[in-house]
Amino acid sequence: MKVVSRYLLTSLVRGYGVMFVVVGALLWVISLLELLGGSDGSSSAIELVLRSLIAIPVDLIDLLPVVAILATATVLSTMQAQREIVVLRVSGVSLLTIVRLALVPGIMIALTALVALQFLAPVLYRAPDQAAVGELAENSLWHPWHGLWVRSENQFMNVGAFELGELPGEIAIYEFDADGKLERQIRAARAIPAVGRWMLEDVVIKRVDGGPERITEHRQWAWPSFLSERQLELFRRAPASLPLTDLWTYIQSLKMRDQDASDFELVFWRRLALPLACIGMVLIAAAISARPMKRGALSVKVTLAVGIGLGYHLLAGMAGFFGLVADLSPPLVALGPPVLLAGFSAWLLATSR
């Protein structure tokens, strides 16, 4: 039994490795083509290649259920085509045992992916100086000691606290008149960025426009932001850039401020559901592979696995979009598809025994 387990696990791990390379290469080509299509010619070829490589690990994790069904279906269908599964079952190895062994690498890789999302994703997306240069262009300056400076015609803004997973903090805004004299200084502990308006918190406003100096304090204060949509993207942290713990903290922070956190919450629960989705995909792959087939049907089973994997990925994305539009519970929207997938795969496997 140990020999059988070692052989099957080795084959499955090798199959996962091949599929990771194949899917990763496809994602890299797609990402590179998108960057080339949107490039204005200012970036070098090496820079575009490196930028296209950065997002591949996180994209691969998001496609982990697809990789799981492809790897499992390919390995088990090949073994079935070569009558190895038949030999194993005749020798006393049950289909349930084969399925349990097939689940081991899928679950282990899914759990490893969650660890990678906690520690790897922030490293890949952590480049505030490069992001500032790329997103805020010529009207900004980033320095690790002085924070981020942004200017308009008569306003300067300094963001001192600028970390992934946190709202911008230590805000200082300086407003000048047409002669270049300072009129007003605004300081805030933190800000909730939005297009056209920032909601500042714990605000102190000091007016120095030639008259008596006046200082007012506000718990919250709406500031008409001069940042464009493109510039604002620097402060809108992509959910993929946040570790799971910071993502959860950020969600709770937005909820405490009565802000919409559904996008971030949906990504959080989808990532927690990765092991369950992988279990469902492995069970479906095992059910497909266990069914008797005629000669030449290996390609049909692999194609079917590709269709199921990509179909599930697209349907889960559509469910997420519908859930956001209909204002449904993010945990329900994120966990619903993998739960249904696991139930359907268990039924399919039971009918294949």
User: Which of 95-99, 216-220, 249-253, 322-326 is the least confident region?
Assistant: 249-253
Q: How many CB atoms lie within 10 A of CB 66?
A: 23
* Owner of token pair 């499955």: 12
Range from 34-48, 63-77, 338-352 that averages highest in pLDDT: 63-77
- pTM value surpassing 0.75: no
Which tens digits make up the pLDDT trace of 226-278?
776 556 655 655 666 677 887 887 788 777 767 677 888 888 898 899 999 99
Stronger pLDDT, 121 or 321, i.e. the higher one: 321
Which tens digits make up the pLDDT trace of 172-227?
999 888 887 888 899 999 888 877 788 899 999 998 766 666 888 999 999 888 77
User: Which of 120-129, 159-168, 276-285 is the least confident region?
Assistant: 120-129
Contact by Cβ (8 Å): 188, 202: yes
The structural domains of the chain, with segments of one domain joined by +, span 2-127+263-352, 144-260
Distance CA 174, CA 6 (A): 67
* Predicted pLDDT of residue 23: 92
Q: Which of 199, 176, 177 is nearest to 188 (CA)?
A: 199
Q: Which of 127, 110, 111 is nearest to 237 (CA)?
A: 127
Distance CA 295, CA 231 (A): 58
* Predicted pLDDT of residue 69: 92
Q: How confident is the model at residue 164 (pLDDT cuts 50, 70, 90)?
A: very low
Contact by Cβ (8 Å): 281, 106: yes
